[in-house]
A = this chain, B = another copy of it.
Amino acid sequence: MPVKLTAPQATSLLPVKGVQLGFAEAFVKKPNRKDVLVMTLAEGSRVAGVFTKNRFCAAPVILCKDFLAQSHDNQHRGIRALLVNTGCANAGTGEDGLHRAQQSCEALANLLNLQANQVLPFSTGVILEPLPVDKVIAGLPAAIANLKEDNWLNAAEAIMTTDIVAKGTSRKIQLSGKTVTITGMSKGSGMIHPNMATMLAYVATDAAVSQAALTSIIQYAVNKSFNCITVDGDTSTNDSLILVATNLAGNAEVTENSADFITLRDALTDVAIELAQAIVRDGEGATKFMTVTVEGGKNEEECRKVAYAIAHSPLIKTAFFASDPNLGRILAAIGYAGIDDLDVNTLQLYLGDVLVAEKGGRAASYLEEQGAAIMKESDILVRVVLNRGAENITIWTCDFSYDYVKINADYRS
Contacts and interface: CB of A to CB of B under 8 A. Distances in A.
Interface residues of A, number: 69
A327 B359 CA distance: 46
A409 B402 CA distance: 10
A391 B190 CA distance: 33
A129 B333 CA distance: 16
A205 interface: no
Contact of A94 (B322, B334, B345, B411): B345
Contacts of A336: 53-56, 193, 195, 234-235
A127 B405 contact: no
A314 B234 contact: yes
A397 interface: no
Contact of A232 (B193, B315, B321): B315
Interface stretch (A10-18, A85-93, A139-147, A215-223): A85-93
A237 interface: yes
A312 B312 CA distance: 10
Interface of A: 53-57, 89, 91-97, 126-130, 190-191, 193, 195, 232-237, 312-315, 318-319, 321-322, 324, 326-329, 331-336, 339-340, 342, 344-345, 357, 359-362, 400-402, 404-406, 408-413
9 contacts: A55-B336, A56-B360, A91-B331, A195-B336, A232-B313, A233-B312, A237-B332, A318-B408, A319-B408
